[in-house]
Structure 1
Amino acid sequence: MEQLFQKFLKKVGTVSTKVVRDFIYQIDWKDRMIGIRGARGVGKTTLLLQYIQQQLPLDNQTLYVSLDDIYFSNNTLVELADQFVKNGGKFLILDEVHRYATWSVELKNIYDDHPSLRVAFTGSSALHLHRAKADLSRRAVMYYMPGLSFREFLHLAPQYQLNFPSVSLPEIIDNHTELCLSLTQQFKPLPAFQQYLSLGYYPYFSENEDTYHLKLIEVLNLILEIDLPHVVNINFSSINQLRKLLQILAESTPFKPNIQKLSERIGSTRNTVISYLQYLENTEILSLLYSTTKGVSAMQKPEKVYLQNPNLFFALAPDNANKGSLRETFFLSQLRPKHAVQYPKQGDFLIDGKWTAEIGGASKSKRQIKGVEDGFITADDIEIGYQNKIPLWLFGFLY
């Protein structure tokens, strides 16, 4: 255990708290067991280490450990927790729990056996954490950490360093002209927005923008080659089919899937393609949009399929990214962390069962939402909107 403490103190000492995401303040850290899920690369590890630096004692009461550490080749998590508590431990911070086969059962035992111990843990996707629900029900309070919003990118990016408050969706809909007038006095949103679409969703853009998309491809490969096979039964041939599927989606217009044609193109069956789409959504590579008129069943075809965030287009299809897909993908990625989004009868998106959004360019007309109550146009390539035409970039201030 001494080596684990040494690794922890060395790692926590290298993390800067100059820029801390607002997400850290949305978590009630007083709960006995907290789980944080989110895609690979969104900054979960950094968040944990920043919390330790700011709030926890850096002595024998606190321990951070990643569960892919070689320590666990000869020791169990339960044994670590037991020894830690006996030596005065109070705060156990666990990273990458999905890399440890029996993590959910052992966390349940730790929760039940050590009522004085507070535990926080991270996992990389819903795919891993979904299977832990039964073990951790009524024990762990779960949080979802998305990638950076456009607002957070403006705060983190060295060339901007702008700290704006988030705004609610009703504020945007009702007061977008005033908001935009105020914001555009402080920065030029359109060029900054183009940067965000390409490389602003994952915080490691600040390390080296030139290699950002290469790192993103590496992350996708880790998900396909390590994360997925660890949880579901797929082989090398299936991984190649998943890659083909991603390439098709990255080069498509806003995609209404023909499952039969997709299955023929990648050499698979209809049900397998639907399973693939669901796997890729659970690992946060895709976002699936379902109809408002149907309940979601296991083998139901989604109405539309999107990459999870716009940066993925520039990694997978840098020369063929469809502008319409980029716009809709951005909008969906900024809305979903806080709102329910479905496929409507009219328009592109139905939000919280109330607002209908139609996405397009600066000249987008109101034809598709004519007669729709609470409908609005979300327009790209404009700085300031008018009436129910709202600039697309402004929805990047929701969180």
Structure 2
Amino acid sequence: MFIDESQIDKNWALSGKVIYDKSYNIFMIFTGSSALHLENNADLSRRMRKKSLMPLNYTGHLKLKYDINVSNFSNDLKDLIFTGNIENAVTSEFKAENILTNCLDYSSTDWNEYFKFGGFPLLSNKKSYREISDNLVEITDEVVTKDMPQIKEISSKNQSNAKRILRYLALQQPGELTQANLAKYLKTSAANVNKILDLLEKTYLLFHCEPYGGSAKRVKRSWKYYFATPSIRHALSNKVGNPLFGTDSYEGLLLENMVASILFNLSNKQFTDFKIYYDGNKKRNVDFLIQKDSENIIPIEVGRGNKCKLQIKHAINEYGCEYGIVVANNYSHIKKEDDVIYISPKTFSFL
């Protein structure tokens, strides 16, 4: 049985439980646009296996839009990230470039379109950029006004606060979000801000990174928040008028969000288990630190120029890392210099 838009029936979980208890021979799939409604249900918590559909990486985008299959490239990139071995990824990168070059339908502007408007199937049916942005803004508004009210504690005022938080984050540099400052901005309590942020994460519009360190440090320091895809941030920035719009600094903000979201999505895939942190050091800190189980830390810096190399070298020495990774616009192909691996943003988006 395949039941779509199951959240329309408030008793969908109870119906599924009754059917499940009556017969083990019926396999049921419940899908819905309301992540909150499907997440917060105790009736099926012991009986169901949950699968979240994360935004598309560039590999998925190419498969959906052009029927191009480069899934091996994704696997080789994952191996590069966690082992530091670049040979297979270099070979796959070369093959992927040849495939795209020989695809008559593939546009040279496709990756930039994916970067700013992709992550969802909207881009596979080519629309105007304005229409795609409007669709993304409409989706975020519907999540707040239709999905979040299904949670009893969410008032109309907090729906408005949720929209203001999303727009606030779209205009800010990625950084530690102080709940007290945000509460002052919204003229509400810090506890209420935390509740709204928690719900926005459960809708998968946002996710957070905690600082690297012991439990005491993670409790004391604020979290960093990112959008599910850079396209959501870009759409909201376009809507409210980001003063950095069109500048190198703005492109850097989107790039950092892209790397964060790809790492977050990868960490939620089956058979992939690692943690994503931000570097809480005051000076020469890198953007991300990832760690698989109790293995060595892998520092990742996002940006451009010599500054990246100085920061990644500092992190390698600071945390005793075997290697570090730089995702930067001024590198077109994968290469490794000593203990630093350089990857272009386009290549990283295949991960």
TM-score past 0.5 threshold: yes
**TM-fit CA distance, 1:294:** 5.1
The answer for the alignment partner of 2:195 in structure 1 is: 275
Q: Deviations over 1:131-164 (max 9, x none)?
A: 22x322342122121121111212223xx55321
CA RMSD of aligned residues (A): 2.7
Q: Does 1:185 align with 2:98?
A: yes
Map 1:33-182 onto structure 2 (within 5 A). Answer: 92-124=1-33, 126-132=35-41, 134-157=42-65, 160-166=66-72, 167-168=74-75, 169-171=78-80, 173-175=84-86, 176-182=89-95
User: Aligned partners of 1:363, 1:187: CA distance in 2, in Å?
Assistant: 30
User: Aligned partners of 1:294, 1:194: CA distance in 2, in Å?
Assistant: 39
**TM-fit CA distance, 1:295:** 5.0
The answer for the alignment partner of 1:34 in structure 2 is: none
CA contact 2:333–2:344 (8 Å) conserved in 1? yes
TM-score (norm 2): 0.78
- Unaligned segments of structure 2, at least 5 residues: 102-106, 268-274
**TM-fit CA distance, 1:364:** 4.6
**TM-fit CA distance, 1:120:** 0.8
CA contact 1:306–1:325 (8 Å) conserved in 2? no
The answer for the alignment partner of 2:256 in structure 1 is: 328
- Unaligned segments of structure 1, at least 5 residues: 1-91
SS at match of 2:50: strand
CA contact 2:211–2:221 (8 Å) conserved in 1? no
The answer for the alignment partner of 2:150 in structure 1 is: 230
Q: Deviations over 1:83-109 (max 9, x none)?
A: xxxxxxxxx111122222122233122
CA contact 1:291–1:344 (8 Å) conserved in 2? yes
User: Aligned partners of 1:204, 1:365: CA distance in 2, in Å?
Assistant: 34
Query: Cα distance 1:271–1:390, how it changes in 2: closer, same or farther (>3 A)?
Result: same
Query: Cα distance 1:333–1:392, how it changes in 2: closer, same or farther (>3 A)?
Result: same
The answer for the alignment partner of 1:365 in structure 2 is: 308
**TM-fit CA distance, 1:396:** 1.9
The answer for the alignment partner of 2:335 in structure 1 is: 386
CA contact 1:289–1:343 (8 Å) conserved in 2? yes
Which stretch shows the higher mean deviation, 258-267 or 299-308?
A: 299-308
**TM-fit CA distance, 1:357:** 0.9
**TM-fit CA distance, 1:363:** 4.8
CA contact 2:288–2:301 (8 Å) conserved in 1? yes
Candidates 241, 251, 255, aligned match of 2:171: 251
SS at match of 1:142: coil
Matched residue type, 2:262: Q
Query: Cα distance 1:200–1:136, how it changes in 2: closer, same or farther (>3 A)?
Result: same
User: Aligned partners of 1:277, 1:141: CA distance in 2, in Å?
Assistant: 25
SS at match of 2:173: coil
User: Aligned partners of 1:281, 1:233: CA distance in 2, in Å?
Assistant: 16
CA contact 2:332–2:343 (8 Å) conserved in 1? no
User: Aligned partners of 2:266, 2:257: CA distance in 1, in Å?
Assistant: 15
CA contact 1:255–1:306 (8 Å) conserved in 2? no
Candidates 303, 326, 332, aligned match of 1:377: 326
User: Aligned partners of 2:214, 2:34: CA distance in 1, in Å?
Assistant: 25
User: Aligned partners of 1:155, 1:385: CA distance in 2, in Å?
Assistant: 22
Query: Cα distance 1:190–1:170, how it changes in 2: closer, same or farther (>3 A)?
Result: farther
Query: What is the count of residue pairs matched by the alignment?
Result: 304
Query: Cα distance 1:122–1:352, how it changes in 2: closer, same or farther (>3 A)?
Result: farther
User: Aligned partners of 1:394, 1:276: CA distance in 2, in Å?
Assistant: 35
Percent of matched pairs sharing the same residue: 25
Q: Deviations over 1:213-272 (max 9, x none)?
A: 111122111111110011242222212221111111111111321222211222221111
TM-score (norm 1): 0.69
User: Aligned partners of 2:108, 2:262: CA distance in 1, in Å?
Assistant: 17
Matched residue type, 2:260: L
User: Aligned partners of 1:230, 1:119: CA distance in 2, in Å?
Assistant: 23
Q: Deviations over 1:254-313 (max 9, x none)?
A: 1321222211222221111122111111111111111233559xx987421111111112
Which stretch shows the higher mean deviation, 98-107 or 302-311?
A: 98-107
